[in-house]
A = this chain, B = another copy of it.
């Protein structure tokens, strides 16, 4: 964790990409702002609320740029995030991971502090636990029923009316049925705009159908929530949907590029590293950014273009031709020319610096205590924004 003293010292020193300690995490705030504006502009005409997922940034400063207001709405993946963002003033949250009954005391503590946090569930057992905890506390905990729109993870099938109604009825015995939600994680397998639009429509229809089932049975369903970065960007009709959740779009990454959701130069996050050695016969350049700095995420391994551990760029953020971080040890990264190409290694020397664009922004960011903020091709580090981890 960067201490306040370190942070202040860094700002006093007029830090730049050439002087900050490596490895470290660089955030191009101009690209981030552009990514946020792009999704807002896409969703706004469809009349839905953007409820950004704060799990990618885990940073108050990033959250403030993502949210429509300082109070939210927003989505979180851990109760630690909920507590941290609540302490910073956020008042409207969905904790979007199936609730474990043991976690309900922390949810209730947040609600007592004035935070409208809703939980997510997909079993009668969880609904009964939420209803019982609500009755005991004398306050209804709101919950959304998770819908499985594409078979990739959790949720009730949208046409399983029996399960939907059983969960809804168990919940309203003390708890609050806030609505339905789904996440089209399957859209990560899409490769064309047509497929992405199809996933978006399947995602939309799944929750709208489930909401209809609940309402037809006399149960409430005010919130109809969808969300994944690919579908959020390719949806063209969100009739019946009230809100869209998306997270990784704030920074984007090579996995999103591989799906076709962003360009390489939309990627706002990179890891800054320093050259520490060579194996010239093998065509290797070694840097001080290994998997501890870039993460073990190999999300592009199954995509048509495998980017290794990331694309290597100049200090200005421009990719070197066909240069990737091909392998990584804990604190060593191995840069090579992409296999099958005839590019030459750039003439980097000991002490030179490069930036590596990550496969997966969520996992790379999670390896770091802070963002070093830059703007476009200006090398000045204008701020450091701390981020948190843990649960």
Q: Is B369's CB under 8 angstroms from A97's CB? A: no
Given A100-B288, A154-B279, A286-B153: A391 and B21 interface contact (C-beta under 8 Å): yes
Contact code string A78-105 (vs B, CB < 8 Å = 1, else 0): 1000000000000000000111111100
Q: Which residue of B lies closest to A332 (CB)?
A: B153
Which chain B positions have C-beta within 8 A of A139? none
Interface residues of A in 287-307 (CB under 8 A from B): 288, 291-293, 295-298
A interface secondary structure, majority = loop
Count of chain A residues with a beta carbon within 8 Å of a chain B beta carbon: 63
Q: Indicate if A123 sits at the interface (CB-CB under 8 A).
A: yes
Report how far A154 CA is from B99 CA in the complex, Å.
Answer: 47
Q: Indicate if A316 sits at the interface (CB-CB under 8 A).
A: no
Q: Which residue of B lies closest to A350 (CB)?
A: B125
Given A123-B277, A350-B100: A331 and B369 interface contact (C-beta under 8 Å): no
Chain A positions within 8 Å of B, measured between CB atoms, are: 1-2, 21-24, 55, 77-78, 97-103, 106, 121-123, 125-126, 129, 148, 151, 153-154, 185, 274-279, 282, 286, 288, 291-293, 295-298, 329-332, 334, 349-351, 360, 362-363, 366-369, 388-391
Q: Is A362's CB under 8 angstroms from B330's CB? A: yes
A170 → chain B closest CB, angstroms:
12
Supply 19 further A-B pairs (C-beta < 8 A) apart from A153-B332, A295-B296. A1-B390, A21-B102, A21-B106, A22-B100, A22-B391, A78-B292, A100-B275, A100-B288, A126-B277, A148-B279, A153-B329, A154-B276, A154-B279, A154-B286, A291-B363, A292-B363, A292-B389, A296-B297, A330-B362
